[in-house]
Amino acid sequence: MSASEQDTTPATAAEPDEPDDADEADPDLGLTPKQARLLRVVAGSVLLVVTGTVLAVRLANHTSVLVVGVYGLAMILCGVVIELSRNGRTRLATWLLTGGLLTAFALDWLVLP
C-alpha cells in the first residue's frame, strides 16, 4: 500500500484524563458515574450540615477547644469529600467520609468531656 492509499484521516487528539471510575457504573449500587458523584456530593452536604448542628449543640453544653477541633476537622473532611466527589473520585470520597466521621464521633464519645 502506497502512502497515497493510506488512510489520511487526521489523528484524534488525546482525550483528557478521565477519573478512574468515569466509564464504569458503581457495581454495588448499579449507579451511573454521574449518579454516584451526585449521591456522594449530597451525602457529604447533608453530613456537613448534621456535623455543624452537632457542633452547635455540643458547644452549647460544653465549651471546649477539643469540641471545636474534632467537629471542625469533621466539617473540613465533609468539604474535601464533596470536592473529591465532584472530581470523580467517588470511592475514595466514600472511604474518607465513612472513616473520618466514624473517627470523629468515636473521639467525641471517648475523649471529649
Give pLDDT tens digits for 73-107. 888 988 898 898 888 888 888 898 889 888 988 88
Using CB atoms within 10 Å of the CB of residue 110, give its burial: 0 to 12 exposed, 13 to 18 middle, 19+ buried. exposed
pLDDT band for position 16 (50/70/90)? very low
**pLDDT at residue 62 tops 80:** no
| pTM of the predicted structure, to 2 decimals | 0.64
Q: What is the mean pLDDT of the chain?
A: 77
